Structure 1
Amino acid sequence: MLTILLRNSVVCIRQPNCSNVRGAVRQFRITIRQEAQLPNLSPYDVNLILRENEYIQTFPEDDSIVRSYESNQLSSNRPCEDSRTEATFLHKSGFICGVFDGHGGPACSQVISKRLLRYVAAGVIDRTTLKEVVAKEYNSQSFLKCHNDKADFVNEIKTIYEDSFRDYVQTISSQTVEKISIEITNAFMRLDDDLSKEALKHTNMRTMSVAMSGAVACVAHIDHLDLHVASTGDCGAVLGTQCPETGQWHAKKLNNEHNADNLKEVQRILEEHPKEEQDTAIRNERLLGQLAPLRALGDFRYKWSNEIMAKYVVPTFGEHSVPPHYYTPPYLTAQPEVQHHVLGPSDKFLVIASDGLWDFLTPSQVISLVGEHFNSKKVMEPMKIPSGDVTLLEVAKLLAERKAGRARKPLDQNSATHLIRNALGGTDYGIEHSKIAYYLTLPQDVVRLYRDDITITVIYFNTEYITRLNGDS
């Protein structure tokens, strides 16, 4: 009875005359919260759940722009529709990572997370090096060293994907390198095109399930002082900077979400279609009344022509698989927006996360939480006495600061876990255990109404290395 009540109420609240959909939905959920009889979790149980998927990777400090990264993932869907990948380059300096939020199933997100960064890696290296790699025996794993990668494709689908990757590499090897932002964009678009061709050529349920589901993506490429963030959809990337004079933390957004809250994005779509579709191209803040992100990889039932839909999609998935008012496709694009930022000594870390995090926390809150976590971890490191003449009073001040910092030691070593804990349990008075336990014990048939999958990667920059590079430039 509770499930039916919740679902009907959410549908009702989402009517166009509601001025604040998200707030109204959440307020309604809070009012019925006490009606659900949920199992209790101990603090130990909560820690086990929150830390199950956390990961930390550190790099040599002398010659790496990235000092370390920390990531974690908490699922809501079963299976989780989010994915993440992080890697270092094999043939050039730099680091690349991405967060991918799937919808309509996990297939597209899982495939994109393992393939997109490899397309980008091949595209951004200089062509002389690329030709040297091509001259030898190579595959899609010849350009990156992926970290925390525990799975691979089954042989049947892997062969298809390797053939597509080789065609891509052969194509770009005869071209000159464009700007990094253009190469990243080309990689997004080429992979999306390959997903379409693979589904239509190899008409099996594996390739077609990837094509019929979709994923949004946010990818960060870091090489020396150049940070590029490419975003398609509604994941978020925020840079944490610290004022050297005051120590205050500031958040700088490095991407724009492609959803109905982005009026420029809405206008772009409306201008691409006839005036007769002004009321149908975007309805109820969704593409064709169905899809929340207005850009995505996959989701070819919003991209393929009517002829392709009739020939390949309808016979397998039925008439309902064609969106309503599907008159002038494509309605959807995978093209990312790419922002470039030159790193400076004040830039301390970058947070990339799926919208499951941003539903709970603002960019400023996220940066403040990671900043506090960053400061507390510094206090736990071995104390370094400044060079030169140092007075006993200065040493005493350093010791006092470290003592005060230890009192604020966070519960989690992993900053991504720290964010998830605060997202689910944060209050004006600190972390509330019962609140986290409540979110973690919601039944599977209603949990998605309360929270989405959450995937977070926090990349920490090497300040000393950045300072040295800035001095040389």
Structure 2
Amino acid sequence: MLTLLLRNSVVCIRQANCANVGGAIRQFRITIRQEAQLPNLSPYDINLILRENEYIQTFSEDDSIVRSYESNQLSSNKPCEDSRTEATFLHKNGFICGIFDGHGGPACSQVISKRLLRYVAAGVIDRGTLNEIIAKDYNSQSFLRCHNDKADFVSEIKNIYENSFREYVKTISGQTAQDVAFEISNAFMRLDDDLSKEALKHTNMRTMSVAMSGAVACVAHIDQLNLHVASTGDCGAVLGIQCPETGQWQSKKLNNEHNADNLKEVQRILEEHPKEEHDTAIRNERLLGQLAPLRALGDFRYKWSNEVMDKYVVPTFGEHAVPPHYYTPPYLTALPEVQHHVLHPNDKFLVIASDGLWDFLTPSQVVGLVGEHLNSKKVLEPMKLPPGDVTLLEVSKLLAERKAGRARKPLDQNSATHLIRNALGGTDYGIEHSKIAYYLSLPQDVVRLYRDDITITVIYFNTEYITKLNENT
């Protein structure tokens, strides 16, 4: 038995008795024995932690497809490697948002969270409007109104990024517009290419740190009844659908995870490389035995040629920065899968989140929790009787539903916070305070073994407007 001493805890690792399959798989059982008592967090302390980063944005316009959205973030890594962005279009009636889960540091996720949606926005607006915008004095801020955006790039980096964006806009303005899925994919790939060029042209640690770290992304673009979800990596998006007859909730996944559990994705990578590399391209369920997501932005040490690696990476980061068995790059792509869904009145909300949430909850559980939260919030509003004649039995039923809803009233007004609370503390009998306190009290040097960064955005649709649009089509 191997014992590793960590702050406030001891980790005991025992190798389990199992067959050595191909010499590549070893199973371990990890148990933790606390040497010092964890901080005793009160319910008040827990609420402060869980609600620190929550945000709610409501849209009052009758012709807005999105009625509101709610977001929150709970970090595990220090600094947090997740980022998020939400925005409305300035030149059309539309909404766009994204979740970005970084790895190898926060640099890449922070940068693409502030750049990718603007690349997408420039690509999906009609070319006539685009040319009107660029005929004036424009920049990357001319396409979207970002909400809850409190930071900006330093001037040196900002100028580099603005120049790249202008070159991108100049390129697409002279091209014939394609369908939305193509334009979104093109924005992903162009930004990724710009990250590479910026790192190699402006050889400083800021641009290189973005290129050497990486991030997966899940972006939702909503234009009238058309919802497109573009995903690269292992974030997740799920639609909450309510049956009008029964009130029951149904979930619909709108993306595929790009990891070793996705056999089509594994097969794609193996087909892109010689047969001699089939045992090394993916090892231990990771790309080249190292990277869990099989698609990502950044991570250019899995994309650059050997010549570029020798010239730019090895002198700065050393030979160990080159992955083992790095024979026929690129091994990684930023190309997203894009799914299209036409919104109907039964579609009530969309949840996008980093994998820190999906490690705890299934898509159906997430939809059930948000649906329950939505129903409970409705009973806090003034009671409205349906139009026309109403029977006493119908009124009695409405009152019974409101009474039941009040009994299920959640602790959190924000549905993203509600999800985090249930992810960490949910049991078959309700929320367990001690369970949440345990997860929130783990020392920094072991917390990542138990939970990842969690970032969530819940988008609520305007049912009345969706109904109106469906009636007119």
Larger strand share, 1 or 2: 2
Contact 1:353–1:455 (8 Å) recurs in 2: yes
Equivalent positions of 1:13-162 (< 5 A) are 28=29, 31-32=31-32, 37-162=37-162
Picking from 3, 6, 15, the partner of 2:6 is 3
CA distance in 1, matches of 2:85, 2:283: 33
Aligned to 1:319: 319
Q: Give the drift of 1:279.
A: 0.5
Contact 2:109–2:215 (8 Å) recurs in 1: yes
Q: Give the drift of 1:65.
A: 0.5
Task: Give the AA of the match of 2:436.
Answer: I
Distance 1:445 1:177, change over 3 A: same
Q: Give the drift of 1:403.
A: 1.8
DSSP-derived class of the 2:140 partner: coil
User: Over aligned residues, Cα RMSD in angstroms?
Assistant: 2.0
CA distance in 1, matches of 2:294, 2:68: 33
Distance 1:443 1:359, change over 3 A: same
DSSP-derived class of the 1:458 partner: strand
CA distance in 1, matches of 2:327, 2:50: 45
Task: Give the AA of the match of 2:13.
Answer: S
Q: Give the drift of 1:245.
A: 1.4
Contact 2:12–2:32 (8 Å) recurs in 1: no
Q: Give the drift of 1:443.
A: 0.5
CA distance in 2, matches of 1:371, 1:61: 23
CA distance in 2, matches of 1:110, 1:14: 42
CA distance in 1, matches of 2:112, 2:100: 8
Equivalent positions of 1:53-452 (< 5 A) are 53-452=53-452
Tell me the alpha carbon deviations over residues 180-199 of structure 1, each in whole angstroms, 9 at most, x when there is no partner: 00000000000000000000
Distance 1:230 1:16, change over 3 A: farther
DSSP-derived class of the 2:265 partner: helix
Contact 2:60–2:67 (8 Å) recurs in 1: yes
Distance 1:57 1:12, change over 3 A: farther
CA distance in 2, matches of 1:14, 1:105: 35
CA distance in 1, matches of 2:241, 2:47: 29
Q: Give the drift of 1:16.
A: 7.6
Q: Give the drift of 1:34.
A: 5.4
Distance 1:39 1:391, change over 3 A: same
Aligned to 1:459: 459
Tell me the alpha carbon deviations over residues 409-465 of structure 1, each in whole angstroms, 9 at most, x when there is no partner: 000000000000000001111111111001001101111111000000000111111
Contact 2:11–2:33 (8 Å) recurs in 1: no
CA distance in 2, matches of 1:389, 1:205: 70
Q: Give the drift of 1:3.
A: 3.0
CA distance in 1, matches of 2:99, 2:437: 26
DSSP-derived class of the 1:459 partner: strand
Task: Give the AA of the match of 2:82.
Answer: D
Give the percent of matched residue pairs that are identical in Structure 1 and Structure 2: 85
Q: Give the drift of 1:10.
A: 9.0
Q: Give the drift of 1:36.
A: 5.5
Distance 1:429 1:119, change over 3 A: same
Contact 2:71–2:457 (8 Å) recurs in 1: yes
CA distance in 1, matches of 2:396, 2:121: 49
CA distance in 2, matches of 1:341, 1:67: 18
CA distance in 2, matches of 1:393, 1:201: 73
Contact 2:10–2:35 (8 Å) recurs in 1: no
Contact 1:258–1:295 (8 Å) recurs in 2: yes
Given the two structures, how large is their TM-score scaled by the length of structure 2? Answer: 0.95
Contact 2:258–2:295 (8 Å) recurs in 1: yes
Q: Give the drift of 1:391.
A: 2.8
Contact 2:10–2:33 (8 Å) recurs in 1: no
Tell me the alpha carbon deviations over residues 130-154 of structure 1, each in whole angstroms, 9 at most, x when there is no partner: 0110011110010000000000000
Task: Give the AA of the match of 1:3.
Answer: L
Distance 1:427 1:52, change over 3 A: same
Contact 2:11–2:32 (8 Å) recurs in 1: no
DSSP-derived class of the 2:102 partner: strand
Contact 1:15–1:284 (8 Å) recurs in 2: no
Q: Give the drift of 1:392.
A: 3.4
Distance 1:162 1:13, change over 3 A: farther
Q: Give the drift of 1:400.
A: 2.3
Q: Give the drift of 1:40.
A: 0.6
Distance 1:343 1:154, change over 3 A: same
Most deviating of 43-52 and 371-380: 371-380
Q: Give the drift of 1:263.
A: 0.5
Task: Give the AA of the match of 1:159.
Answer: N
DSSP-derived class of the 2:217 partner: strand
Contact 2:294–2:332 (8 Å) recurs in 1: yes
CA distance in 1, matches of 2:200, 2:386: 64
Tell me the alpha carbon deviations over residues 200-242 of structure 1, each in whole angstroms, 9 at most, x when there is no partner: 0000000000000000000000011100000000000001101
Q: 5+ unaligned residues in a row in structure 1: which ranges?
A: none
CA distance in 2, matches of 1:14, 1:117: 47
Larger helix share, 1 or 2: 1
Distance 1:381 1:13, change over 3 A: farther
Q: 5+ unaligned residues in a row in structure 2: which ranges?
A: none
CA distance in 2, matches of 1:360, 1:261: 17
DSSP-derived class of the 1:141 partner: helix
Q: Which stretches of structure 1, 4 residues or longer, exceed 6 Å deviation after superposition?
A: 4-8, 10-16
Q: Give the drift of 1:2.
A: 4.2
Tell me the alpha carbon deviations over residues 66-92 of structure 1, each in whole angstroms, 9 at most, x when there is no partner: 110000000000000000000000001
Distance 1:436 1:329, change over 3 A: same
Distance 1:317 1:10, change over 3 A: farther
Distance 1:292 1:12, change over 3 A: farther
Tell me the alpha carbon deviations over residues 139-177 of structure 1, each in whole angstroms, 9 at most, x when there is no partner: 001000000000000001000000000000001111121
Tell me the alpha carbon deviations over residues 26-72 of structure 1, each in whole angstroms, 9 at most, x when there is no partner: xx55x535555211100000000000000000112511101100000
